[in-house]
A and B are shown apart, each in its own frame.
Chain A
Amino acid sequence: MVLGQFSPLLDAAVQVIAGCLAVLIWLYSYRAYRFLGSPTLLFLSTSFALFAAGLFVQALFTVHAYSTGSRLGVLFIGEGSLIYSVLEFSGYVVLASAYTAGGRADGDAVPLLAAAPTTFGSIMSFHRLFEYGIQTASIMVLAYALGRLYVDYRKNKTPYTKFVGYGFVFLLIQDVVRVIYLASDFDYLISSVFQLTGFVLIFYALWLASSR
């Protein structure tokens, strides 16, 4: 299938667009931080800077892998995916910190799932297990942030929050899909489209809030 053949490149393109949106969201929230001096906004902007960095790195590795070809290319995709997972996880932890630092809603610290110790001798097995652990932890942290957002929305009914909430849901779906089921490059592309939709919705919320 032609689409399947080019799906790594399409995936990289989707990641670059999502990365650009993450940069714009970072810019909005960083300006808000500079103006208001609120640490929660600093956490928010830092999280989107990390998402953007992760998306650009992954896109770069994917393009490089595609141009290299052969088995070495697969290694590049794997490394790019791992770096992305670490940056994405860091972003979610910082994002959850924004809700914790806000300290208004009820709730305890986020339970983080660390990668389980492994006895596998294979580096690749450890690599995959580590990435799986990071992605699972990302899901938990994002679910926590989504929960806090939902609690705030129920309490304050703030306009635009639902778009941010839908955006978080799409990001969550993307992460769950990547952890549970990825049979081909095309599936990966679909999960990236989910992620892009999430960033579009979050950006739309910021644009609405900013231009009223």
Chain B
Amino acid sequence: MRVTERPAPEPARFDRDWWRARSELGVCALLALAGVLVLVDSLLGTDAGSDSDPLGPHAVPTVLGIGLLVLAALLAVDVLRGGHGEAEAGEDVELGTPPDLRSVGALAGIVVAAALLIPILGWPLTGAGLFYGAAYVLGARSFPRDLLVASAVSLLTWVVFDALLGVDLPGGPLMGVF
């Protein structure tokens, strides 16, 4: 039924603009991928458990996997018919601009770096780095103040969690030196 709505010549449908306008198809691909993953995982699982469990551990994942594939298809149809999800607006968000993926990547990188550094540098230093880095990416440029705030927040957190509450947060490479 949508044949009539778009008289554009065939080859043009595959140019970059066409894809950019329909980048939501990537969501469909991810959903389908999740569906395949769930199905494969449930097919590879062993038949463990009791004979009295008629459904077993794989029935629900199988249904869900199929559901994911169906939803991926339905969403793809919706997108190709011109439907699109409304990006979320907000006070601090300016939707007119193209997404600043470098900032997003930087934030993600900071979190991953923190995960890697906690066992080596301990929480106070890593946490301060996490806070400072994130604030920098988000536009904080007041140099000594940012670092002092980050250090204070991180150190205070460590004191409250580790020293006062007994929740273990690694203290850093110098722990036990004194």
A and B assemble together: no
Q: Report which A residues bind B (CB closer than 8 A).
A: none
Residues in chain B within 8 A of chain A (CB atoms): none
